[in-house]
Amino acid sequence: MASGTPLSRRLWAASSATATHCLFHPFVVGVGSGQLPMAAFQQFLKQDAFYLHGFLKAFAYAVVKAEAPADAMVLVDLMHGVNSELQLHASFMESWGIPAHAIDATSAAQATRAYVDFLLATAKTATSVAEILAAMVPCARLYAFLGAALASARSELTGELMGDAHQYAKWIETYAAPAFEAGASDMEALLDSVAEREGIDEARLQPLYARAMQLEYNFFDASFPVQRADFMGTTALAYDADTATSILTTQPLAPLPTVSKLSLLAAVLAIAAGDHSDPIAHGVRDGSEDDRAACLALLTRSPGATATEAAPGVPRVLCIAGSDSGGGAGIQADMKTCTALGVFSTSAITAITVQNTVGVHGIHGVPIATLREQIGCVLDDIGTDVIKTGMLGSAAVVQCVVDAVKDRNLPLVVDPVMVSTSGHKLLELDAHHCIVQQLFPLALIITPNIPEASFLLNGRTIATVDDMKVAAADLHALGGSRYVLVKGGHLEDASSVVDVLYDGLSWHCFQSQRVATINTHGTGCTLASAIAAHYAKVPDMKAAVQNAIRYVHAILVGSQDLSVGCGAQGPMLHWL
């Protein structure tokens, strides 16, 4: 890509394949051809209204975090544009058979919730408006692209196929309008200017942009799954796969002299609308490589195909830890964290604890065979992108986990839970050597706090940030994990907290303001799970640690006045 190309254009170009698959998704083709079942379109509109409210909230976070007043004013103007879009939706609802009260009664579908959670988690934890915009711009740019493409393709078709009576013409006109393109361009211009002014690296923004594009595809698929593509009639799906492959993969040929040249999209819309003539005569050979791949996937898809064949998967984390009946730490904190960060979590319970805000009153281990079966059945079916371990308790449990994951080649986040914050011992002595010698070498990162780091290093005193750096390097050499994060919450510094990440070559220090609160139960579990969740979304450890620290700090601030239980240490309230 030429160096003079704006950042927003480079990000869009990097997601061109996803954009093209969205364009040729059965939902979009159905809208463009007018053949999408009205029930699917009504469901889409209700979910889109829910999403746009979340989109507005993300804008609000961006306004608050904008450093330049001029940026804040642009964001406010953009918010007005989204509000106008919502009002337009409302005006269209009745004509498409949706009463006004139906919007208020709508619950978010899984794809909608995942997208909104991603936007809000990004907006809440971002340190730059550029990060928020990188997650938001794809929506505006994609819809401008879809509107323009559908309008252009429809204009090439005969009035008999695409007349004024097209039931979704108003929707297409909305997103093909110059005003919508101008709004998308304004968002991109702001993203470009903020990123350049603040020196935000493109590599930091690209994963956010790409994730949003994937979630857009999932949104269409939730409204009209690809396995229902037979709505377009038998012709689009009855083409012999070999024939379709030959048509779409042959090098483009000169247009037939007796046939007007139509775009690939126009040809697909014609097929969907009921024109059963040979797609070659419609110029199906034309189009880019991405166009042809997306079109081939559509034309050769069988009605029994599953949505997961084409839709990008949701990030997943398997949490292996003990259960905290008080809900503040353990597996409960792990899964709340993953949910708040838009990641699907599964679990394997190592022990059941009897605890509340006062303390731990009992620990009951889960049979080793049961633990092994939990891990195996989850990984063999659902799979995972990252495994996070917490309380393991005994050498037998550690060995079980090692045996279950050692051949899986999966990123492993190890929180070496040894003592609860209330002082209760959570790790048997014989498990210490097993963790260091067998589990740590498998780990991508280990996340000890200062007491745990001291214990692992034979009682060494760790009293300063420099001590933490030395400890991190020594733990790296001791256990062989790729990264070591020594958490600094136990240092006696009344104003700030410093966490030290070591990658085998250099140290990265993350400083945050200390929050004055007694509600700190589960901070270690939450931080490790947040690292796992962020790494599952974007495999960048430094960014994952930084974002996880921001998440923990934010919920500490939000929970500092929370009153739950009668003990000396309360839990935190996670975002949901």
Render 345-357 in DSSP notation, one character per residue: EEEEEEEEEEE-S
Does 523 qualify as catalytic in the annotation? yes
Helices (H) and strands (E) in the chain, counts: 23, 9
Does 542 qualify as catalytic in the annotation? no
Structure tokens belonging to residue 550: 């921001």
Give SS3 for 395.
Answer: helix
Cβ-count burial 402-411 (b if 16+ within 10 Å, e if not): bebbeeeebb
Give SS3 for 454.
Answer: helix
Does 526 qualify as catalytic in the annotation? no
At residue 448, φ and ψ (nearest 5 deg) are -70, 145
Does 261 qualify as catalytic in the annotation? no
d(CA 214, CA 174): 23
Strands (E), 112-256: none
d(CA 180, CA 188): 13
Cβ atoms < 10 Å from Cβ of 412: 26
Catalytic residue, chosen from 524, 526, 537, 570, is 524
Task: Name residues whose C-beta falls within 8 Å of residue 341's C-beta, 6 or more positions apart in sequence.
Answer: 117, 121, 530, 533, 534, 537, 551
Site of tokens 């609000």: 60
Catalytic residue, chosen from 20, 523, 537, 570, is 523
Strands (E), 246-389: 316-324, 344-355, 360-365, 386-389
- Give, as one character, the DSSP assignment of residue 366: P
Does 106 qualify as catalytic in the annotation? no
Structure tokens belonging to residue 10: 């480079």
Give SS3 for 321.
Answer: strand
Catalytic residue, chosen from 522, 526, 537, 570, is 522
Cβ atoms < 10 Å from Cβ of 175: 21
Catalytic residue, chosen from 22, 295, 434, 525, is 525
d(CA 387, CA 116): 24
Give SS3 for 298.
Answer: helix
Helix (H) or strand (E) holding 414: strand 412-414
User: Which long-range CB contacts under 8 A does 81-86 form with residues at least 24 apart?
Assistant: 81/183, 82/52, 82/55, 82/56, 83/56, 85/52, 85/174, 86/49, 86/52, 86/53, 86/56
CB contact at 8 A, 261 and 255: yes
Does 400 qualify as catalytic in the annotation? no
Q: What is the 3-state secondary structure (H, E, C) of 53-90?
A: HHHHHHHHHHHHHCCCHHHHHHHHHHHHHHHHHHHHHH
Which positions are annotated as active-site residues?
Answer: 487, 520, 522-525
